[in-house]
Amino acid sequence: MAYSAHPSYSGLFLTVEGVDGAGKSSHLDWLADALRAQGKTVVLTREPGGTSVGERLREMLLHEAMDLETETLLMFAARREHLAQVILPALMRGDVVISDRFTDATYAYQGGGRGVSRNKILQLEQWVQGDLQPNLTLLFDLPLAIAAQRLAQGRAQLDKFEQESQVFFENTRAAYLERAADAPNRICIIDSAQSLEATRAQVAHAVLSQLNLNLTAYL
């Protein structure tokens, strides 16, 4: 059954996106804490993963080589479980859900990076989530040379995706930017080549202008 008939919910669904090393994780705890300080109940989660089944799929997805269509299907299998067990129940309760990656990442990585057709991803998206979309997506964007440099400094061990080629990441980044151009009301591009402080200020600005929640006191 698709989610096209899902009841309306009172929560807020936020996602953060961007290539590896773009700076997503660096702002998640701050964002969650700032929203909690505003009285929100926040569920911080990630993809692939976020559930027991999803985390086991994540292990496979990040560390085992597999057929690219298998990879795409497993991403959506993990997503379905995540929606059913975590995201939708939280949104129904009225919570704020912040997910470190969601479906835009599949369009970017499996679509842009690996070349799975957009139409196949669209079919799986409709099957798994119907018309459910995040209320706001923060797309952390920066020149890939900077992302690679930051990853090289910050990470001891790189997963299957983080070890991909420059061409893969160029295509992934381009697909993310294409998504943003197609959904300008949902996806806010954050220039994460800037300092942590300046990047965070952009996040606060996006949350204020899109969701009318003022987090600037916590900057």
Helix (H, G, I), strand (E, B) or coil at 37: helix
- State which of residues 106, 199, 202, 210 lies at the interface with ligand ADP (CB under 6 A): 199
Cβ 73 to ligand ADP, closest distance in Å? 24
| Rounded CA separation 69/152 (Å) | 29
User: Which residue has the closest beta carbon to ligand ADP?
Assistant: 154
Q: Residue 20: name its binding partner from ligand ADP, Mg ion, none (Cβ under 5 to 8 Å by kind).
A: ligand ADP
Contact call for residue 104 and ligand ADP (CB under 6 A): no
Alpha-carbon span 192 to 25, nearest angstrom: 12
Nearer to Mg ion, 26 or 85 (CB): 26
Q: How far is the CB of 24 from Mg ion (least distance, A)?
A: 5
Considering only 22, 91, 203, 204, the residue that binds ligand ADP (CB under 6 A) is 22
> Does residue number 155 form part of the binding site for Mg ion (CB under 5 A)?
no
Q: Please tell me the distance from the alpha carbon of residue 169 to that of residue 113, in angstroms, as a whole number.
A: 6
Please give the full DSSP string across 132-177, using - where no structure is assigned: ---SEEEEEE--HHHHHHHHHHH-SS--TTTT--HHHHHHHHHHHH
How many residues bind ligand ADP, per CB under 6 A?
17
Q: Which of 25, 52, 70, 126 binds ligand ADP (CB under 6 A)?
A: 25
Cα(132)–Cα(78) distance, rounded to whole angstroms?
16
Secondary structure of residue 14 in the 3-state scheme: strand
Which residue ranges make up the site for ligand ADP (CB under 6 A)?
Answer: 18, 20-26, 140, 150-151, 153-154, 192, 195-196, 199
